[in-house]
Each structure stands twice: as C-alpha cells, then as structure tokens.
Amino acid sequence: MKEIITRFPPSPTGYLHVGGARTALFNWLYARHMKGRFVLRIEDTDAARSTKESVDAIFEALEWLGIDWDEGPYYQSERFDIYREYIQKLLDTGNAYYCTCTPEQVAAMRKAGMAAGGKAGYDGTCRDKGLSNSEGAVVRFKTPLTGTTVLDDVVKRNIVFNNEEIEDFVIQRSDATPTYHLAVVVDDITMNINTVIRGDDHVSNTPKQILLYRAIGHPLPVYGHVPMVLGNDRTRLSKRHGAMSVTAYRDMGYLPDAFLNYLVRLGWSFGNQEFFSKDELVEKFTLDNLGSSAGVFDTDKLLALNAEHIKKDSKSKIAGHLMPFLKARKIDAKQDEYLESVIGTLNKRSKTLIEMAESAEFYYQKDVIYDEKAARKNLTSSSLASLGMLADRIESIEKMDEQSLENAFMEVMEKTGLKLGKIAQPARVALTGKTVSPGIFEMIEVLGKEETVIKLQKAVEFIKK
C-alpha cells in the first residue's frame, strides 16, 4: 500500500478557527494512524488579505494543539513559476485557452443565461478562437461540453455533476496569477497528496478540480467531505455562537487534548466512546467512521470534557499548561513536585485552568487574605481554642499523612467537645481565606507542617485582635 499523504492548507487571512482546526486534526490523525505524512501549506495567493500575523497565529494555534507537520510550510506565493508551467501545459494540450472577454461582458453573459433559464456562466465566446496572450487576457479551462464528472467521496458517496453545467472557468487571471482551483490541484499533485479531507463547502469546487486532474493526467486523490460545524441553533458556526479562534479557547483555560477530543467528535465516532486521549485518537482514527451529519458545537459539552481531561491527565502535563495562568495571577510558582501536589488536590474540582489557578492561589500566599464574610462567621472567639490546639497538635506530628492529621483533629474534637465541621471549617478559612477548598487533610498535607502551623497561629492572632 502506498504511503498516505494528507495536507492542511489554511489561508492566512485571520486566526485559525474551529472548523479549520477540525480539518487539520482529521488530516493529521489519518496521516499519523496510517504512519504517513502530513503537509502544511499556506494558501497566500490573496496578497491583499494575507498577513504574516495570520500566518504566525495559525502556527501558534497548531503548536498549542500539538499538530505537527512532516513537510512545509509551503507558501503558494513562492510557487508561481510552477503554476505557470502547468498552465502552459494545459494550453499546449488544448485543455485551456486565452479569453479576452471583459468582466462586464462575462457579467452580461451570466445575466442572459439566467434569464433564459440556462447556464448562468461564461458562454464560451473565446473557446475556439485560438487567441494568443495579450494584455488583460485570462486563461480559461476548456470544460467538456457533454458527459458527467463523478465525485467518489468516502463520506458522501457518489455525487454526479453534469459537465454542461460547469462553465469554462478561469485558471489564470489577467495579472498572470493562478486561481484557487489551478493552484490547489498543482500543489496536491506536486506534493504527492493522495488523501483530501475537507469541509463539504468544497463539494461544489471538486468537479472543476477533478477535471483539472484528468487534463493533467494525474490520478485523483481520495476525497472525504465532512459536514460543517454548526452552532447550537444549527446554523453555520460563527462569532455570534461564541469564540471562533482556537487560541481563545486556550486563553479560557482549556487543555489542548480536551479541545482535540471535542473537535474530533464533531464528525467522527468510535462506538459510544466520548473520552479519548491523543494517543487513542491516533490509534483508532479511520476514514470509515467519518460521519455524514453536521456536528453541533456545544460549549457546555466542551467544558464537561475539559473537566474530565483535567481530572485524568497527568499532573506533570497539566502543570506545564497551568503555569501561564498562575503567572497571570502573579503567583510565584515553579513547575516542580510541589505544583504537581497542588494540582492533585484541585484536578477533581476544576473545570478550567483559570479555575484551577484561582483555587491554587492560597498555596503560594505567605499571608492569607480572609474573605470578610467567611472570617466573620468562622474566625470567632468560639474557634479560638480549637485552632490553637490544632496548631500545637500538628506541630508535634512526626510524619505528615492523612491518618496522622485525622488523629490530630480527633484529639481536638475530644478535648473541645466540638464536631469535626466546627473545627475543620475555621481551619479551612485560616489556611485559605475561604469556606471552599480541597479536602482539609489533603490540603494540609500539601501545605506542609510549618506553613500550616504558621497560618493557624496567624488566625489565632487575628481572632485575638
């Protein structure tokens, strides 16, 4: 079996959006599953709209997602000589011709065609004139006047197009630049692309590209056109449905593997399984399981999946992604064992990395900032004795573990006659400043003996004042 080669060809006219990221992911996963190659190509022939900032934003998003490439990035703007060579071949073989019709004349042809109920396109005026190149001339592809062009699609199955409905389309503009159809076909041929997975908004483009392949004499790639991603109102996903940029989800505290997991399920399935690690996706992804129904982007489901990944991913991996969020809160943390211990107390109760960073703050504070309402209710004269006893008892513990801490709390309960909640909640506020935190024992174990005792004693002083 020949090596599978897929590609992702974004246009650098903005950020990498959700639909584009899913296209990249499908092609990347299939190449990795088949032990093939994944090519990155930047389609920047639209010089007016293409920017370096957009290129950099695409690279940044792909890097965050962990989608790497084996070849490229190739830039279409650097390949014009190759396109001209293929255009000349099409002219030489009679598959293309020069056309001198003005844009106004072509517009009139389309209007007349529509009025007559026929083809609303170019009418072939210059098709058989044998014109040579001249100023303002374009090059048109000579579409067959009869017969059909069949798209054999792994998702949509066979789609048949009547050739008589396909106009003689432009492959080179009057300024000698190639059009999209010509460039993409030449790129895919010269880069040996043999599998094309893309959104079904490209279906209408495909018959023109198939005709170009045949005229050039090159085998067709395998095509798979997947349905577009929709918003929750089942219209095409747009800004009104929420963030469209991939990096916006990074900045909202989503893990890249969770985002990949969610994206892949918008058009691909493996039984009823919802949760996948990245390695599992590479192992299980095939074109057979691409779906023909549109995926609906649901931020609630994404959030739930993100929480599941935070819970299950390794603490060391989460630590790397958490660091920017800690720095944003001016938390002086290091990516070390202590941080991983902190994560171990927060990963079951954090939906995003923003939440986790906020919850981790007290672990790095020398001076606890008490929530006013929490302090008024819990740091009172009635908790003074228990907090003092607890500080003394913890200070005497030789080995800080859950059992030793539980014994310490039990002793304070026995001496004061208070129930656990009446001791644990004031201690929680003393250590975190809040009434909600990780489990009291696991939290103290991470804070350590010295830090815990200091904070309990400071709470005692606070009450006395």
* 69-88 mean pLDDT: 97
**Could you tell me what percent of the chain has a pLDDT over 70?**
98
Instruction: Say whether pLDDT at 14 is over 80.
Output: yes
**pLDDT tens for residues 323-337?**
999 999 999 999 999
Q: Tell me how long the chain is.
A: 465
Strand ranges across the sheet with 148-153: 157-162, 148-153, 222-226, 195-199
Q: State the number of CA atoms in the 13 A half-sphere of 423 facing the CB.
A: 24
Tokens of 278: 């990245």
Provide the sign of the torsion angle of the four alpha carbons 373, 379, 380, 386, taken in this order: positive
User: Cα separation of 327 and 329, whole Å?
Assistant: 5
Specify whether the CB–CB gap between 289 and 269 falls below 8 A: yes
**pLDDT tens for residues 281-332?**
999 999 999 999 888 899 999 999 999 999 999 999 999 999 999 999 999 9
Question: Of the candidates 51, 36, 50, 41, which has an alpha carbon nearest to the alpha carbon of residue 72?
Answer: 41
Looking at residue 235, what is its pLDDT? 80
Looking at residue 236, what is its pLDDT? 79
Question: Of the candidates 130, 117, 118, 142, which has an alpha carbon nearest to the alpha carbon of residue 208?
Answer: 142
Residues 6+ apart with CB under 8 A from 207: 149, 151, 161, 166
Instruction: Say whether pLDDT at 239 is over 70.
Output: no
**pLDDT tens for residues 111-155?**
888 887 777 789 999 999 999 999 999 999 999 999 999 999 999
**Maximum distance among all alpha carbons in the chain?**
106
Cis peptide before 73 (omega within 30 of 0): yes
Instruction: Say whether pLDDT at 379 is over 80.
Output: yes
User: Cα separation of 333 and 335, whole Å?
Assistant: 7
Q: Which residue has the higher pLDDT, 276 or 243?
A: 276
Tokens of 143: 């579409």
* 378-404 mean pLDDT: 93
Looking at residue 72, what is its pLDDT? 95
| Residue 369: Cβ within 10 Å count | 12
Pairing of strands 138-141, 96-99: antiparallel
Q: What are the structural domains, with CATH classification, of the chain?
A: 5-71+181-228 (3.40.50.620), 81-180 (3.90.800.10), 239-312 (1.10.1160.10), 314-363 (1.10.8), 365-465 (1.10.10.350)
Catalytic residue, chosen from 89, 129, 142, 239, is 239
Residues 6+ apart with CB under 8 A from 48: none
Residues 6+ apart with CB under 8 A from 84: 172, 176, 178
Instruction: Say whether pLDDT at 249 is over 80.
Output: yes
Q: Which residue has the higher pLDDT, 113 or 266?
A: 266
User: Cα separation of 268 and 372, whole Å?
Assistant: 50
User: Cα separation of 228 and 99, whole Å?
Assistant: 36
Pairing of strands 5-8, 295-296: unpaired
What is the pLDDT confidence band of residue 242, given thresholds at 50, 70 and 90? low
Instruction: Say whether pLDDT at 238 is over 80.
Output: no
Tokens of 190: 């010269």
User: Cα separation of 6 and 196, whole Å?
Assistant: 6
Across the chain, mean pLDDT equals 94
Instruction: Say whether pLDDT at 278 is over 80.
Output: yes
Q: Please report how the helices 299-312 and 256-264 are oriented relative to each other, as an axis angle in degrees rounded to 10.
A: 130
Looking at residue 234, what is its pLDDT? 81
Instruction: Say whether pLDDT at 356 is over 90.
Output: yes
**Could you tell me what percent of the chain has a pLDDT over 90?**
89
Pairing of strands 295-296, 229-230: parallel
* 395-414 mean pLDDT: 92
Per-residue DSSP letters for 288-323?
GGB-SSPEE--HHHHHHHHHHHHHHS-HHHHHHHHH
* 23-48 mean pLDDT: 95
Looking at residue 243, what is its pLDDT? 62
Specify whether the CB–CB gap between 170 and 90 falls below 8 A: no
Looking at residue 230, what is its pLDDT? 87
Reduce the DSSP state of residue 399 to 3 states and report it: coil
Reply yes or no on whether 373 is catalytic: no
Instruction: Say whether pLDDT at 351 is over 80.
Output: yes
**pLDDT tens for residues 431-456?**
999 999 999 999 999 999 999 999 99
**pLDDT tens for residues 154-199?**
999 999 999 999 999 999 999 999 999 999 999 999 999 999 999 9
| Residue 409: Cβ within 10 Å count | 21
Question: Of the candidates 344, 242, 354, which has an alpha carbon nearest to the alpha carbon of residue 298?
Answer: 242
Per-residue DSSP letters for 129-193?
S-PPP-TT-EEEE---SSSEEEEEETTTEEEEEEGGGS---EEE-TTSPBPHHHHHHHHHHHTT-
